[in-house]
Amino acid sequence: MNDCLFANYARFDVVLSHGQGSYLYDIYQTAYLDFATGIAVSALGHQHPELTKALSNQVNKLLHCSNLYRIPQQEALAEMLCQHSFADKVMFCNSGLEANEAALKLVRKYQHQRGKADKHRFLAVDGAFHGRSLALISASPEGKMIEGFAPLPDCFDIAPADDLAALEAAITPQTAAIILEPLQGDGGGIHLFPNNYLQGVRALCDQHDLSLVLDEIQCGNGRTGTLWCYEHSGIIPDIMTTAKGLGGGMPIGAVLAREEIASALTPGSHGTTFGGNPLASTAGLAVLSELTRPGFLETVRARGDQLANVLDTLVAKYHGVVSEKLGLGLMQGLRCVPEVSNINLVRTALKTGLLLVPAGRNVVRILPPLTVSESEIDQAATLMHSALSELAS
Mean pLDDT in the chain?
97
Same domain, 114 and 212: yes
For position 142, what pLDDT does the model report?
72
Same domain, 281 and 299: no
Q: What is the pLDDT of residues 60-70, one digit of tens each?
A: 999 999 999 99
Q: Is the pLDDT of residue 74 over 80?
A: yes
Residues 136-153 have a mean pLDDT of 88
Residues 130-136 have a mean pLDDT of 96
Q: For position 112, which CATH number holds?
A: 3.40.640.10
Q: Is the pLDDT of residue 150 over 80?
A: yes
Q: What is the pLDDT of residues 175-185, one digit of tens each?
A: 999 999 999 99
Confidence of residue 141 (pLDDT cuts 50, 70, 90): confident
Same domain, 299 and 322: yes
% of the chain with per-residue pLDDT over 90: 98
* Residues in contact with 176: Cβ distance below 8 Å, sequence separation at least 6, in sequence order: 107, 108, 111, 116, 119, 120, 121, 122, 210, 211
- Which among 291, 309, 339 is the end of a domain? 291
For position 138, what pLDDT does the model report?
95
Residues 23-31 have a mean pLDDT of 98
For position 79, what pLDDT does the model report?
98
The conformation of residue 245, written as its DSSP 8-state character, comes to G
Same domain, 385 and 322: yes
pTM value is 0.97
For position 241, what pLDDT does the model report?
99
Q: For position 320, which CATH number holds?
A: 3.90.1150.10
Give a yes or no: residue 150 inside a domain: yes
Q: Is the pLDDT of residue 152 over 80?
A: yes
* Residues in contact with 48: Cβ distance below 8 Å, sequence separation at least 6, in sequence order: 248, 286, 290, 371
Q: What's the domain count of the chain?
A: 2
Same domain, 168 and 249: yes
* Residues in contact with 382: Cβ distance below 8 Å, sequence separation at least 6, in sequence order: none
- Which among 246, 262, 291 is the end of a domain? 291
Q: What is the pLDDT of residues 252-265, one digit of tens each?
A: 999 999 999 999 99
Using alpha carbons, list the distances in angstroms from residue 107 to 100, 112, 189, 209. 11, 9, 27, 12
Same domain, 215 and 324: no
Same domain, 377 and 252: no
Give a yes or no: residue 187 inside a domain: yes
For position 189, what pLDDT does the model report?
96
Confidence of residue 144 (pLDDT cuts 50, 70, 90): confident
Domain residues for the domain of 361 are 16-34+295-392
Confidence of residue 161 (pLDDT cuts 50, 70, 90): very high
Give a yes or no: residue 372 inside a domain: yes
Same domain, 235 and 316: no
Give a yes or no: residue 306 inside a domain: yes
Give a yes or no: residue 45 inside a domain: no
Same domain, 80 and 22: no
Give a yes or no: residue 79 inside a domain: yes
For position 34, what pLDDT does the model report?
98
Same domain, 265 and 339: no
CB atoms within 10 A of CB 132: 12
Which among 59, 78, 99, 72 is positioned nearest to 241, based on CA atoms? 99
Confidence of residue 103 (pLDDT cuts 50, 70, 90): very high
Q: Is the pLDDT of residue 140 over 90?
A: no
- Which among 291, 317, 342 is the end of a domain? 291
Give a yes or no: residue 1 inside a domain: no
Residues 323-334 have a mean pLDDT of 98
Give a yes or no: residue 6 inside a domain: no
Q: Is the pLDDT of residue 347 over 80?
A: yes
For position 316, what pLDDT does the model report?
98
Same domain, 67 and 210: yes
Residues 158-174 have a mean pLDDT of 97
Q: Is the pLDDT of residue 192 over 90?
A: yes
Same domain, 280 and 268: yes
Strands (E), the chain: 16-20, 23-26, 31-34, 89-93, 121-125, 156-159, 175-180, 183-184, 191-192, 211-215, 239-242, 253-257, 322-328, 331-336, 354-355, 357-359, 363-366
Q: Is the pLDDT of residue 1 over 80?
A: no
Q: What is the pLDDT of residues 351-375, one digit of tens each?
A: 999 999 999 999 999 999 999 999 9
For position 130, what pLDDT does the model report?
97
